[in-house]
Amino acid sequence: MRASHPEKLLDAASALGGKITQLETIMAGEREELSYLQQSWQGDAAQAAIAKGLQILGKQERFHTRLQELQSALQNGGDQLSALRKAILDLVESLQMMGFSVSDDGVVKPHQWLVGRFLNGLAEKFTKFLQKLLQVFDETDQSTAAAIAEACGSSIPNPPVKVSGQDIQIPSQDTSPEGVKKWWDSLTDGQRQALIAQHPPILGNLNGIPADVRDKVNVQVMDDDLNRVEHTAQQHGVSPADVVKDPGRYGLSANDITRYQNAQKTQEGLLHDLGIDTSKDHRRYSEISDEEKAARHLRPTMLWAYDPTAFNGKGKAAIAIGNPDKSPNTAVIVPGTSSSVKGGWLSDGHNDAINLWKQSYYADPDHPTAVIAWMGYDTPADFTDPNIANPGLARAGGDLLAWDVNSLGVTHDSGIPQHVTVIGHSYGSTTVADAFANSGMRANDAVLLGCPGTDMAHSAADFHLNGGKLYVGDASTDPVGWIGEGHSLTNPLNDMLGHPLGSSAGLGADPAHDGFGATRFQAEVPGTTHLNPSDHSFYYHMGSESLRSMTDIATGHGDNLGNEGLLAKPRVDVPPVTTGQVHTPFGNIPVPKLESPIYDPEWDRPGTLGHDYKPN
């Protein structure tokens, strides 16, 4: 520890920041050049060249994301290790000045001329404290190395787990789901149960491991993260808040606090989805037995994924209502901007997953639907984040989404039919589009809600939904849905709204436009006759047109939308206006350079409620 130089990590992070800036400048120039080519060069050769350019730019985007993750790992590791190193060396120096000797392994002893039971006892306490600091330093060093290696794209072999005296090597996270399943099936039942009991964190996030096993492991890991802080607080006679405020004082690290806080958020989400009133019931999620859940008819929740330190502490988690391995239908819902475990997307009380699950159960109780609330990628922080106008996070998230969704078929019960629907909202819809068009995601149907653009997908055909359909829900009064580049309204509207998606509007084509080829369903908001940002969050509202439509799609009955009168006509081009403005339900928007305004047939139709399925 004494010979370490964590400040060099900070130097490397600073130097890497300069390289990232250079790459961003290059990519900005390439985007501008591609945009010019798309406008001025036509024909098959042009399309091929532009597609190749977009592919190269996509690779650069993913490389850019890796560089940012590497810089974050270097910066965070350097900060934490530097602080720990200083604290340890300062303590050693103080002990030596007090007349104690300190060995390299952290053992503290009084010098021979300092004798007495009190001093020996004091030395033992100092030894425990110093060795704990050294342990934290070592763990931080290892986690920093792992974060750097992950950002660089290299995999670190997982340490073997000892079961009945035998070392069992767990596959790395980049092992194919098929390979992981083959490994899991090769173990004896005793070995599998022992691994679940020991709950190494990676096991609960390995694609190819059955959902019920992932749940058991992840809940135990979550409890460990809660216990680490709460037990420390009990031992010192303080509150968990005191430990969170000054973890180093109690022998914990900033990483321990991140895990604790995201474990709290994840547990709150599990309890909410389960149906527990936490204002009256203060038990942990793990303290509620399966027998009680069944007796009280609570919702069947599972913690399908859990990594509280992912994405620089924003966290990763996926909560399922229903077992995706045993359900004929599975819907994966993907959130958009400002969503994260840390930010409370799983725990803020919204009912997106609950409403879709409940409606799906009422619609088709004989063919259950599992709903996975997937918080598995790094989203733009908010509407002022420059990343919101950049598809980089969507493309990186698309890779992660495709990796998870494509694994669902590997662990699904072979005796049960499987229908998978992936639903993306806002920036999450761009992520879903990229997962299909750029990352090879496989599903039966896709739904895009309030989509600001489909980036790498230029038409419905790019989703490759063999036998399935691409559906779009886009309220005419949702401003974000107007940002896509299917029409000339994009930039004037973006300017008028104060740049809700950054200065460069649009993340690709508008899937609600007639030329895209998607099936649009009704999604209007009752009582709204003008532009309303809150309408962007209405899609999962109980009784709404959009939730009814998504329910039909998720249960495999999307073909019923026409019979139920829930299909909506797409947006279309109309002859150019000469007045310098275009009429919308939210007022006249000046568009002096508008060449081809867009007409939305849904503008003048009032939204309706009462579309919810009722229990039999």
Two structure tokens written together for 15: 């130097």
Residue 508, CB half-sphere, CA atoms under 13 Å: how many?
28
Which CATH superfamily does the domain covering 309-599 fall into? Alpha/Beta hydrolase fold, catalytic domain (3.40.50.1820)
pLDDT at 589: 55
- Which top CATH class is 7-152? mainly alpha
Q: Are 232 and 251 in contact (CB under 8 A)?
A: yes
User: Which residue from 265, 275, 328 is spatially nearest to 297, judged by alpha carbons?
Assistant: 275
| Residue 496 in this model has a pLDDT that exceeds 60 | no
Query: Comparing 197-206, 284-293, 506-515, 599-608, which segment has the lowest mean pLDDT?
Result: 506-515
Strand partners, 301: 321
* 441 three-state secondary structure: coil
Averaged confidence pLDDT in the chain: 86
Confidence of residue 371 (pLDDT cuts 50, 70, 90): very high
Which pLDDT band holds residue 223 (cuts at 50, 70, 90)? very high
What Cα–Cα distance (Å) separates residue 147 from each residue in 30, 70, 138, 311?
30, 7, 14, 10
Nearest alpha carbon to residue 372 among 470, 301, 448, 476: 301
Are 386 and 412 within 8 A, CB to CB? no
> How confident is residue 97, by pLDDT bands cut at 50, 70 and 90?
confident
Strands (E) located in 118-268 = 161-163, 166-168
Long-range contacts of 191-194 (CB under 8 A, 24+ apart): 191/163, 191/164, 194/163, 194/164
Residues 486 and 509 sit within 8 Å (Cβ to Cβ): yes
List of residues 6+ apart from 482 with CB closer than 8 A:
489, 490, 493, 510
Q: Give pLDDT tens digits for 18-27.
A: 888 888 788 7
- Give the pair of three-digit tokens for residue 349: 């009380």
Distances (CA, A) of 531 to 496, 501, 525, 528, 586: 11, 16, 11, 8, 5
Q: Is the pLDDT of residue 414 over 90?
A: yes
Cα distance between residue 314 and residue 266, in whole Å: 12
**Smallest Cα–Cα separation from 554: which of 387, 355, 393, 416?**
355
pLDDT value at position 253?
A: 87
**Do 460 and 517 touch, CB atoms closer than 8 A?**
yes
pLDDT, position 173:
83
pLDDT tens, position by position, 281-319: 999 999 999 999 999 999 999 999 999 999 889 999 999
Helix H, strand E, coil C: the string for 483-533 is CCCCCCCHHHHHHHCCCECECCCCCCCCCCEHHHCCEEECCCCCCCCCCCH
Least confident of 160-169, 334-343, 445-454: 160-169
Parallel/antiparallel/unpaired status of strands 316-321 and 369-375: antiparallel
Map tokens 């829900």 to a residue: 473
Quick one: pLDDT band at residue 493, thresholds 50, 70, 90? very low
Three-state SS across 315-343?
CEEEEEECCCCCCCEEEEEECCCCCCCCC
Backbone torsions φ then ψ of 101, nearest 5 degrees: -105, 150
Domains 7-152 and 309-599 share a fold: no
- Residue with the larger pLDDT of the pair 40 and 363: 363
Cα-atom radius of gyration of the chain, to the nearest Å? 27
Percent of the chain with pLDDT strictly greater than 90: 56
Mean pLDDT to the nearest integer, 336-358: 94
Q: Worst-scoring range by mean pLDDT, 39-48, 98-107, 410-419, 508-517? A: 39-48
Give how far the C-alpha of residue 236 lies from the chain's centroid of Cα atoms, to the nearest Å.
Answer: 35
**C-alpha span between 65 and 79 (Å, rounded):** 21
Question: How does residue 71 score in pLDDT terms, banded at 50, 70 and 90?
Answer: confident
For residue 521, count other CB atoms closer than 10 A to its CB: 24
Using the predicted structure, report yes or no on whether residue 525 has a pLDDT greater than 80: yes
Q: What is the DSSP string of 175-216?
A: S-HHHHHHHHHHS-HHHHHHHHHH--GGGGG-BTB-HHHHHH
Least confident of 126-140, 262-276, 358-372: 126-140
Nearest 5°: the CA angle 61, 494, 452 is: 50
Tell me the per-residue pLDDT of 504-519, one tens digit each, with 9 for 90 and over. 445 899 999 999 999 9
Greater model confidence, 75 or 461: 461
Tokens standing for 122? 């004091």
**Which run of H or E residues covers position 421?**
strand 419-425
Instruction: Provide the β-strand partners of residue 508.
Output: none
Kindly tell me if the per-residue pLDDT of 355 is higher than 60: yes
Give the pair of three-digit tokens for residue 609: 């409620």
In the predicted model, what is the mean pLDDT of residues 123-132?
Answer: 79
Q: How confident is the model at residue 499 (pLDDT cuts 50, 70, 90)?
A: very low
Write down the pLDDT at residue 93: 85
pLDDT of res. 245: 95
Phi first, then psi: give them for residue 140, nearest 5 degrees: -65, -40
Question: Bridge partners of 584?
Answer: 587
- How many other CB atoms are there within 10 angstroms of residue 493's CB atom? 21
- Tell whether pTM > 0.85: no
Task: Give the count of beta carbons closer than 10 Å to the beta carbon of residue 246.
Answer: 11
For the chain, the structural domain boundaries read 7-152, 309-599
